Amino acid sequence: MPVIVYCSNCGKEIRRTPALVKKNRTGRFFCNQDCTNAWWEKNGGYANTGCPKKERAVEMAVRTFPLGEEIPIETIAARVRQQPGKYNLKNAGVARYLTMGDYMALSAPGVWVRVDPAEVAA
């Protein structure tokens, strides 16, 4: 008798054997590979594999640049792609994370400057 679970991405009802449900350690189920990929994309991938989430990878990359230095987005994106997790983020994707964080400020179109969050807050 199958057990009804719900897709963690789209919420669709899916049927799984009790054995599969028992074996599942994450509590997440997906109706197909597309939903699996979509969910991981939304949740920063590799979240429970020891690799940093995208947001963290961006922050780690940024911290390798000195404070006050103006850095083109291309350079930042290239550095992000070298971080653990190897996220293939595009310039726009990186810029979105920079906007959310408090450690970079936009100094010119496409150019970011590393700031000290404590200084910004003061």
Segment near Zn ion (CB under 5 A); pick from 1-9, 59-67, 74-82, 95-103: 1-9
Instruction: List the interface residues with Zn ion, window 33-62 (CB under 5 A).
Output: 35
The yes or no reply on residue 9 touching Zn ion (CB under 5 A) is: yes
Q: Decide if residue 5 touches Zn ion (CB under 5 A).
A: no
- Rounded to a whole number of angstroms, the distance between the first and last alpha carbons of the chain is 61
Q: Nearest distance from residue 33's CB to Zn ion, in Å?
A: 10
The Cα–Cα gap between 19 and 72 comes to 52
Least spacing, CB of residue 30 vs Zn ion, in Å = 6
For helices 91-100 and 54-62, give the axis angle rounded to 10 degrees. Answer: 80
